[in-house]
A and B are shown apart, each in its own frame.
Chain A
Amino acid sequence: MNWWAIFGAGLLAGATTCAVAQGGLLVGLINRQKKAAAEAAGTRELVTAGAAAKVTKAAGKGAARTTGSAKARPAKPGKATKASTRAAPASASDDLVPVAGFLLGKLVILTLAGLVLGAFGSFIALDARIGGLAQLVAAAIMIVFGLGAAGVPGFSEIQFTPPDSWTRVVRKSTRSQSAFAPFLLGIAVILIPCGVTISMMLLAATAGSAVAGGAVMAVFVLGTAPMFAAYGFLTQRYINPDSRRMSIALGTVVVLMGLFTLNASLTALASPITAQSIVAQLRGTPAVAAPVAAAPAPVNGVQVLKIDATSGGYSPSSIAAKAGVPTKVVFHTDNTRSCIVYTVFPSIGKQVVLPDSGDTEVDLGTLAAGEIPISCSMGMYTGTIVVS
């Protein structure tokens, strides 16, 4: 998983897509609350002044000199002008608290969503074929939304339209006067995801585990944080740094993530056409390099291939085996925590769930000459048994 790419997508999304609009909603909420607070303070001062005047009248001239509060000129409450609440004066330091509250709400809800999606995705991937097909669909949607984010005609019109009841929840939360309103708005925005956010959710679902899925969403949200911090200093006015170049950059990142997912699904489905095979063809080299590890000598007529399955891949990544000899693979894991624990042999329809730590034996039977690809169920880590 390329975490920097996800963080970068968050950075760009924070400046170009729905995060910008969400920033606008947050700005409106903050300034509306400030205005209400100012009006309430004004009303209180008027009441205080009125009460003081009564006291003054009753106590006579001497007392009137002591009613300093009457000098205060309260803000004029009541009717709003046509000027938007977004133009209300703001204090930068005061604004960082609600901005942080909003980000925290968004971080919590999207990380939870990532955890659930990651768990669901890894459950789906228990059947390598279904997992591969699900990844294929996810990749296609990501590419479409990526092209849309980049503004490609025909794709930019494709948007997720939430039900009216969902948008009503968000609109209501922007009008709340609660101190927790920014946090709740951060939670509510999960109801109105843009294409890029949906793409990140799909990436989380294909991350291989609940933890990885949660991490994908958390890193993405944190990537949007710098722009929201900027809102914290600039809430006097909604800022829209949207630019064509940033939109294109964001769309490109999402499309690349979609292509990565597509390739992973093709790998998991044992497709003969993958990025690796295309590159190998272009270079005129075999898709699989000569095996790194030699074939082991059979013991009691069985050859046992030993492969370490680490969190970062298979070692050796390719191993030789003799054709016509009963073969077993022993995967060794040692505190392994990635989707590699769901290992599949797509070409022979075998799959195995490896423990975090330990040795797991897989009986492959007697093999014919050829290549047997190994991959994690998400197609992210690959290896090969070269049988000759």
Chain B
Amino acid sequence: MSTRTVTVAITGMHCASCGILVDDCLEDVDGVVTSQTSIKTGQCVAVVTDMVTDDDVLAAVVEAGYTGTILATAAAS
């Protein structure tokens, strides 16, 4: 199954706990391989399979309590 990388800009994060929570919520979604959120950049980079849409990624971010905007999506190397 091919994967792609989705980069999301996230607003509303206060601290490291917020970043971990975003990753936690994303990795609970079936089809999300990994998620790495940086508090410094306010961005999350998620590696997802084809079964996950951009909307799924944004929904998980919203479920964590934040708002997200898709910045880029690319085939994973």
Q: Which residues of A contact B (CB under 8 A)?
A: 17-18, 20-22, 24-25, 28, 32, 79-82, 84-86, 149, 156, 159-162, 166-167, 170-171, 174, 189, 192-195, 238, 240, 242
Collect the chain B residues with CB atoms within 8 Å of residue A192's CB: 15-17, 20
Q: Is the CB of B54 closer than 8 A to any CB of chain A? A: no
In the bound complex, do residue B16 and residue A17 qualify as a contact, i.e. CB atoms below 8 Å apart?
no
Report chain B residues within 8 Å CB of A159. 14-16, 39-40
Contact of B20 among A79, A81, A149, A171 (CB under 8 A): A171
Query: Judging by beta carbons under 8 Å apart, are A240 and B15 in contact?
Result: no
Residues of B contacting A156 in the complex (Cβ-Cβ under 8 angstroms): 14
B contact residues vs A (CB 8 Å cutoff): 12, 14-21, 23-25, 28-31, 39-40, 51-52, 56, 60, 63-65
Partner of A85 from the list B12, B14, B20, B28 (CB cut-off 8 Å) is B28
**A84 to B65, Cβ gap below 8 A?**
no
Centre residue among B23, B28, B52, B64 by max chain A CB count within 10 A: B28
A28 and B24: CB pair below 8 A? Answer: yes
- A17 (CB) vs chain B CBs: closest residue: B14
Cα–Cα, bound, A22→B12 (Å): 15
Name the one of A25, A82, A160, A174 contacting B15, with C-beta atoms under 8 angstroms. Answer: A160
CA distance A253 to B18 in the complex (A): 22
Given contacts A21-B18, A25-B21, contact A242 B65 (CB under 8 A): yes
Contacts of B64 in A (CB 8 A): 24, 238
List 17 additional A-B contacts (Cβ < 8 Å) besides A21-B17, A85-B28, A193-B15. Answer: A21-B18, A21-B20, A21-B65, A25-B17, A25-B24, A28-B28, A80-B30, A82-B30, A82-B51, A84-B63, A86-B25, A86-B28, A149-B14, A159-B15, A159-B40, A174-B20, A192-B17
| Smallest CB gap from A174: residue in B | B24
**A149 and B20 alpha carbons, distance in the complex (Å):** 19
Q: Determine the residue in chain B with the shortest Cβ distance to A16.
A: B14
Residues on B with beta carbons closer than 8 Å to the beta carbon of A82: 29-31, 51-52, 56
B residues near A28, Cβ cutoff 8 Å:
21, 24-25, 28
13 contacting pairs across A/B (C-beta < 8 A): A17-B15, A18-B15, A22-B17, A81-B30, A82-B31, A82-B51, A86-B28, A159-B40, A174-B24, A192-B20, A194-B15, A195-B14, A242-B65
Given A17-B14, A159-B39, residue A84 in contact with residue B20 (CB < 8 A): no
Distance from A268 Cβ to chain B, minimum over Cβ atoms (Å): 31
By a CB distance below 8 angstroms, the chain B residues around A161 are 16, 39-40
Contacts of B52 in A (CB 8 A): 82
Residue of A nearest to B40 (CB): A161
| Residues on the A chain within 8 Å of B19, using CB | 167
On chain B, the residues within 8 Å of A149 by CB distance are 14
Closest chain A residue to B25, Cβ basis: A84
Q: Contacts of A86 on B, CB cut-off 8 Å? A: 25, 28, 63
A62 → chain B, closest Cβ, in Å?
Answer: 45
Contact status A21-B25, CB under 8 Å? no
Out of A85, A194, A240, A242, name the residue touching B17 (CB < 8 Å). A194
Question: In whole Å, how far is B64's beta carbon from the nearest beta carbon of chain A?
Answer: 6
Contacting residues, chain A, for B56 (C-beta < 8 A): 82
Closest residue on chain A to residue B35 by CB atoms: A171
CB neighbours (8 Å) of A80 from chain B are 30
In angstroms, Cα B20 to Cα A123, docked, is 35
Residue of A nearest to B66 (CB): A240
Q: For A79, what are the chain B residues with a Cβ–Cβ distance below 8 Å?
A: 30
Q: Are A24 and B15 in contact, with the CB atoms below 8 A?
A: no
In the bound complex, CA of A194 to CA of B20 (Å): 13
Q: Which residues of A contact B29 (CB under 8 A)?
A: 82, 84
The listed residue (A32, A167, A194, A240) touching B65 by CB distance below 8 A is A240
Instruction: Flag if A84 contacts B39 (CB, 8 Å).
Output: no
Q: How far is the CA of A243 from the CA of B49 in the complex (A)?
A: 35
